[in-house]
Copies of this chain bind each other. A is one copy, B any other.
Amino acid sequence: MRKTILLYALLLALLIFLLKVLEYKFFVRDLSLEFYIGVVALLFTGLGIWVGLKLTRKRNPMPPPAVGSFVPNESALQQIGISPREYEVLEGMAQGFSNQEIADKLFLSINTVKTHTSNLFTKLDARRRTQAIQKAKALGLIP
């Protein structure tokens, strides 16, 4: 979060700096207003989308299993108390990804993924990821 804001501030500063430089170097002031507004609008729309995504954690999920979608057993999920984010990690695990790969996919640090996996192991009463996968399958949590 702090990082995000810092990055935002940095980008903003950079943008304004660039505009300033352009302004001083080429005197493009006359035809500039609409141009500036356009550029700034575009940039900040993109930035806003990025920030929105970052903030609301609605990231792109794992690559889907090739055939036939699957309906997880919601009641079992809730009974065990597996959170949405944990479930995403579980999916990655079951698809054979390493913690690092899952972290990359979900835009997390590997430490966070480890935390999620640890919690999953506790909730699923497993000691290894393979065991967790096996149990999750048995419970109809994953395909």
On A, residues with C-beta under 8 Å from B are 1, 4-5, 7-9, 11-13, 15-16, 19-20, 23, 32-34, 36-37, 40-53, 55-58, 61-65, 68-71, 93-98, 126-135, 143
Verify A68–B58 contact, CB threshold 8 A: no
Which residue in chain B gives the minimum CB-CB distance to A65?
B68
Q: Which residues of B contact A46 (CB under 8 A)?
A: 48
Query: What is the copy number of this chain in the assembly?
Result: 2
Known A34-B16, A49-B55; judge A65-B143 contact (CB<8 A).
yes
Known A12-B11, A63-B68; judge A48-B55 contact (CB<8 A).
no
CA distance A133 to B94 in the complex (A): 9
Question: Could you jot down 21 A-B contacts, CB within 8 Å?
Answer: A1-B4, A4-B55, A8-B8, A16-B37, A37-B40, A41-B43, A42-B44, A47-B48, A48-B50, A49-B49, A50-B52, A53-B58, A56-B58, A61-B71, A62-B68, A62-B69, A65-B70, A94-B130, A96-B130, A96-B135, A130-B130
